[in-house]
Amino acid sequence: LMSISDLTPAEFTRLVLNASSHKSAIKAALAASQTPKLTQSGLLSGRTVAMMFNKRSTRTRVSTESAVTLLGGHPMFLGKDDIQLGVNESLYDTSVVISSMASCMVARVGPHSDVANLALHSSVPVINALSDDYHPLQTIADFQTISESFVAAVPTGHSLGLEGLKVAWVGDSNNVLFDLAIACVKMGVDIAVASPSGYGIPEAMRQVINGAGAGVASPGRLSETTVPEEAVRDADVLVTDTWVSMGQEAEAKKRLDAFAGYQITNALAKRGGAKAGWKFMHCLPRHPEEVDDEVFYGPQSLVFPEAENRLWAAVAALEGFVVNKGKIV
């Protein structure tokens, strides 16, 4: 799983629905002090999942380790000081060696080519845990969160029933946006992006995002602007992320200056005319400059259910890619 681009709309839908159904079943079992059925099945029993992280992580690390545990397997965390991906050893050697011992590699890297190269040479499934281009596990959790918030009963069929919704992304055009936008286009959800001039979607990525609609009957529409108010008009969900992603620390001052005026606030939503009842999402970690406390901790914020859903997305992804070898059912 490198990107949401790898998935058909049906596979993406299935992962999101599986994440939701594991969430209810496992939470109900744990609340009744029972061992969840999924854990009893021991689908990853005796298997190791190697987690190779070149960057910091709270949610991705904890959700992946917890998901492997729920499936009865052993998560092995390998930080950048434990192994050095592509530094003291080639990616080829690392991939061949680790995949000869573990049942899956979950990798957080800088350049997307690093995780793509691991996957190319691996004999076991590889899951992208964030690269400079994509964050597929986040997008599965985000659509689960949108689905749980906007659809009264989580559907059990083959559709999430989100067609016609509008997502507004106000902020940096980054890895989290790219997979989210790909999913929106695939699922018939419109996405409007407002970024300052010079921080918009690169042309090659725009083509990938628009290409995600190929073969989809009513794809979601991507629109881009430099004006936050334009993006939020009639939006159901307002989303943002940090203005300074990991690896961009040296540009922090320049970026903070460039993004002045892009903070998500209730005043912005009102000026722009977001829909009544609009919701707010953020993958976290969050800084106050991109969204103020009133919105982030306010009644329309979905950020904590969204963070929890990272666990259920990880369960669904490990089940789909490791247990079922990419057959997403």
Catalytic residue list: 283
Query: Considering beta carbons, is residue 21 or 245 the nearer one to ligand NVA?
Result: 245
Query: Considering beta carbons, is residue 13 or 131 the nearer one to ligand NVA?
Result: 131
**175 part of the interface to ligand NVA, by CB under 6 A:** yes
Tokens (6 digits) for 52: 């190779």
To ligand NVA, the closest distance from the beta carbon of 182 in angstroms equals 15
**Interacting span for ligand NVA (CB under 6 A) from 64-72, 149-157, 239-247, 294-302:** 239-247
Helix (H) / strand (E) element for 222: namely strand 222-225
**242 part of the interface to ligand NVA, by CB under 6 A:** yes
Whether the CA torsion 220, 154, 327, 321 is positive or negative: it is positive
Tokens (6 digits) for 80: 């950048």
Query: Considering beta carbons, is residue 17 or 182 the nearer one to ligand NVA?
Result: 182
Question: From the list ligand NVA, ligand CP, none, which binds 58 (C-beta under 5 to 8 Å, kind-based)?
Answer: ligand CP
The whole-angstrom separation of Cα 118 and Cα 85 is 9
CA 219 centroid distance within chain: 20
Contact 143, 309 (CB under 8 A): no
Question: From the list ligand CP, ligand NVA, none, which binds 117 (C-beta under 5 to 8 Å, kind-based)?
Answer: none
Question: From the list ligand NVA, ligand CP, none, which binds 189 (C-beta under 5 to 8 Å, kind-based)?
Answer: none
To ligand NVA, the closest distance from the beta carbon of 106 in angstroms equals 14
To ligand NVA, the closest distance from the beta carbon of 176 in angstroms equals 5
Q: Closest Cα partner for 185 from 165, 155, 156?
A: 165
* AA letter at 303: V
* Cis-peptide into 219, omega within 30 deg: no
To ligand NVA, the closest distance from the beta carbon of 252 in angstroms equals 12
The whole-angstrom separation of Cα 272 and Cα 280 is 15
Binding site for ligand CP (CB under 6 A): 57-60, 130, 138, 283-285
Angle at the Cα of 191 (from 16 to 142), degrees rounded to 5?
25
Question: From the list ligand CP, ligand NVA, none, which binds 241 (C-beta under 5 to 8 Å, kind-based)?
Answer: ligand NVA
Question: From the list ligand CP, ligand NVA, none, which binds 186 (C-beta under 5 to 8 Å, kind-based)?
Answer: none
The whole-angstrom separation of Cα 263 and Cα 148 is 26
Q: Given the rule CB under 6 A, which residues bind ligand NVA?
A: 130, 174-176, 241-242, 245-246, 283
